[in-house]
Amino acid sequence: MPMEKEGPIGIFDSGVGGLSVLRHIRDALPTENLLYFADSAHVPYGDKTEQAILERSLAIAKFLLEQNAKALVVACNTATAAAIKAIRSAYPSLAVVGIEPGLKPAALHTRTKIIGVLATKGTLSSASFNTLSGKIATSAGVQFALQACVGLADQIEKGELDTDATEILIHRYIAPLIPQNVDTLVLGCTHYPFVRPMIEKTLRQLSSAPITIIDTGDAVAKQLMRILAEVEICRIDERAGRLTAFTTGNPIVLKNTIFALLGWQTEVFQVVAEL
């Protein structure tokens, strides 16, 4: 198992959503080398079967390890729900961090005890989400109002962060949550932080009471920091780390999207769609 301190951290998502996690990782661990894998030929994961997502995730994990990744971040809620257990059992000595909708921080924050959750169909129907939400609902005495946002990740993939079509979609998904007295809204998909301004605008239009948004990208970066320190594989170097990206889609599109979303020039390589 490649555990060299110099090795990069492998981060993956169905598409560009994981970049919302990557930017927190870059802030928290500026000297680490990062590999980003966008499975753009297969996005969205949210409408696929667990088995299909599991197979993709294992293939991508293997690819990233072949690039000497010393740790893996599953920067996708849908893939974490479907595949993190299998990845951990395939690579028991590897540091693996996943992302789950921030139900716990939301339960600590809510006053109305009703929490909205925006996520993909795959995440909301997964066994791991249902086990977690059931436990938290019982222990904290809260209710979750679930909203699958079909098509929203696709809008973000197209770069439509502030178009009318995206606004209409966001309005359609958020409107039913307001009469349920939601005061906290969990972004349970890593694509959604990129439309956070549009979500905030829609919340202001629909609700006179403030609604707090919960995003766990930062918590994932902190967890990764803790694990790297624990297993003593932090990169010891003063120089800034490099980001290299891979996609099963069009590398020019990913290069332009990384620049548009994060303002970074990145080398992007194309990988065969069926790894």
Is 55 a binder of ligand DGL (CB under 6 A)?
A: no
In the complex, what is the shortest distance from the CB of residue 177 to ligand DGL, in angstroms, rounded to a whole number?
A: 18
Is 191 a binder of ligand DGL (CB under 6 A)?
A: yes
CB 241 within 8 A of CB 216: no
**Contacting ligand DGL (CB under 6 A), which of 7, 10, 44, 193?**
44
Q: Please name every residue paired with 11 in a beta bridge, in sequence order, or none if there are none.
A: 36, 73
In the complex, what is the shortest distance from the CB of residue 193 to ligand DGL, in angstroms, rounded to a whole number?
A: 10
175, burial (CB in 10 Å: exposed 0-12, middle 13-18, buried 19+): middle
Q: Which stretch binds ligand DGL (CB under 6 A): 75-83, 110-118, 215-223, 242-250?
A: 75-83
Is 77 a binder of ligand DGL (CB under 6 A)?
A: yes
In the complex, what is the shortest distance from the CB of residue 153 to ligand DGL, in angstroms, rounded to a whole number?
A: 4
- Tell me the number of residues near ligand DGL by CB under 6 A: 17
Q: Which stretch binds ligand DGL (CB under 6 A): 71-79, 138-146, 178-186, 211-219?
A: 71-79
**Contacting ligand DGL (CB under 6 A), which of 34, 38, 72, 76?**
76
76 is catalytic: yes
Residue written as token pair 């932080």: 193
258, burial (CB in 10 Å: exposed 0-12, middle 13-18, buried 19+): buried
Which residue minimizes CB distance to ligand DGL?
46
In the complex, what is the shortest distance from the CB of residue 86 to ligand DGL, in angstroms, rounded to a whole number?
A: 17
Using the minimum distance from each CB to ligand DGL, give the nearer residue, 77 or 233: 77
Q: Report the C-alpha gap between 275 and 269 in whole angstroms.
A: 14
Give me the catalytic one of 189, 214, 220, 268.
189
Q: Report the C-alpha gap between 38 and 191 in whole angstroms.
A: 12
Is 17 a binder of ligand DGL (CB under 6 A)?
A: yes
Q: What's 13's DSSP letter?
A: E
3-state secondary structure 108-160: HHCCCCEEEEEECHHHHHCHHHHHHHHHHHHHHCCEEEEEECCCHHHHHHCCC
Q: Report the C-alpha gap between 58 and 123 in whole angstroms.
A: 18
Q: Which stretch binds ligand DGL (CB under 6 A): 26-34, 162-170, 189-197, 230-238?
A: 189-197
In the complex, what is the shortest distance from the CB of residue 126 to ligand DGL, in angstroms, rounded to a whole number?
A: 10
Q: Report the C-alpha gap between 66 and 69 in whole angstroms.
A: 7
What are the catalytic residues?
76, 189
Contacts with ligand DGL by CB under 6 A lie at 13-15, 17, 43-46, 76-78, 120, 123, 153, 189-191
